[in-house]
Amino acid sequence: MAGNAAAVATTGGAVSMNSGQGSCSDSRIIPQSTAQDVFVLGGATACAGGSASADIKGDAASASIGLKASASGSAGGSSQTAASVSLRDFWDISVAAGTPSGSITIPVTLQLDGSISPGAVFNPGFGRFLDYSLNFGQPFSFNVFQATGRLTTVGNYSQSFSGSIVLPYSAGRPLRAVVELSMSVPGLLEGSIDFYNTASVSLQLPAGYVVTNSSGTQLFAAPVPEPASIMMMMSGLALVAGLSRARPGRRHR
């Protein structure tokens, strides 16, 4: 387990395992409100021919969380594993110099990858293997791009949720955004669930934009156009403007 007391990001979670019809157990927790940039937590127990384990992690620098769990011994409840993990962080998006006040459209991708082993069994009282919630948006508002759901079948999963969000912008000040990621396994009786290198958020930024997280780590940066490229763009715009003036009756598409 590791943390950074100076960070503003909050990340944590809990794992709970029992086996041998409750003869052995292990539970560990890091409150999800803990201020830290990175953490890892795991636990395991085994007895009477059964075993259960879980590992979780959160990393503000990569804007990601991970979770994996396993249980064996009997699908009837001899072993059971439960786990949850979350991360919340605020990002500052520095806009290219000269951008006027208004609204900025930011393309967003939320990623979820993992697997649930063949023959895995969840606790029927919960009715699912995994819950997930991935969010990016304007702090303290309903202006959020999100992906939420639950997984109820075994197999491999690789899902990208892509879209965009419009954020208000005041010239000379960075955009502020919030990232919230969470996953949980409510009750696994048999098999394995591996979403340990999985849930994350990324942005496709316009040229000259830079994103830093709450602890000041630079996450994403779009290249600033080279001076030659800028001159070519300006020349091209001037040429188009000249053609438009020379041919006022023609529509350009």
In a domain, 42, yes or no: yes
Residue 227 DSSP code: H
Do residues 153 and 246 both lie within one domain? no
Residue 43 tokens read as 């636990």
In a domain, 138, yes or no: yes
Do residues 242 and 146 both lie within one domain? no
pLDDT of residue 108: 94
Distance CA 71, CA 166 (A): 43
Do residues 36 and 126 both lie within one domain? yes
Do residues 148 and 232 both lie within one domain? no
Distance CA 126, CA 130 (A): 10
Q: Find out whether 105 and 205 touch, Cβ atoms under 8 Å.
A: no
Do residues 209 and 103 both lie within one domain? yes
Host domain of residue 243: 225-253
Per-residue pLDDT of the chain (253 residues; tens, 9 = 90+): 444 444 489 999 999 999 988 899 999 999 999 999 999 999 999 998 899 999 999 999 999 999 999 999 865 568 999 999 999 999 999 888 888 898 889 999 999 999 999 999 999 999 999 999 999 999 998 999 999 999 999 999 999 999 999 998 888 888 899 999 999 999 999 999 999 988 999 988 888 889 999 888 888 766 654 444 333 333 333 333 333 333 334 333 3
In a domain, 2, yes or no: no
In a domain, 5, yes or no: no
Do residues 148 and 81 both lie within one domain? yes
Distance CA 86, CA 72 (A): 26
Do residues 99 and 192 both lie within one domain? yes
Amino acid present at 211: V
The SS3 assignment for 218 reads strand
pLDDT of residue 243: 32
Closest alpha carbon to 221 in 82, 45, 114, 93 = 93
pLDDT of residue 233: 32
Overall number of domains in the chain: 2
In a domain, 1, yes or no: no
pLDDT of residue 230: 34
Do residues 123 and 150 both lie within one domain? yes
Do residues 235 and 161 both lie within one domain? no
Closest alpha carbon to 190 in 129, 128, 122, 126 = 122
In a domain, 211, yes or no: yes
The SS3 assignment for 111 reads strand
Dihedral sign from CA coordinates of 43, 119, 196, 57: negative
Do residues 153 and 186 both lie within one domain? yes
Closest alpha carbon to 130 in 146, 145, 117 = 117
pLDDT of residue 99: 86
The SS3 assignment for 238 reads helix
pLDDT of residue 231: 37
In a domain, 145, yes or no: yes
In a domain, 4, yes or no: no
- pTM for this predicted structure: 0.82
Do residues 240 and 206 both lie within one domain? no
Do residues 155 and 199 both lie within one domain? yes
Neighbouring residues of 207: CB distance < 8 A, sequence distance ≥ 6: 96, 222, 223, 224, 225
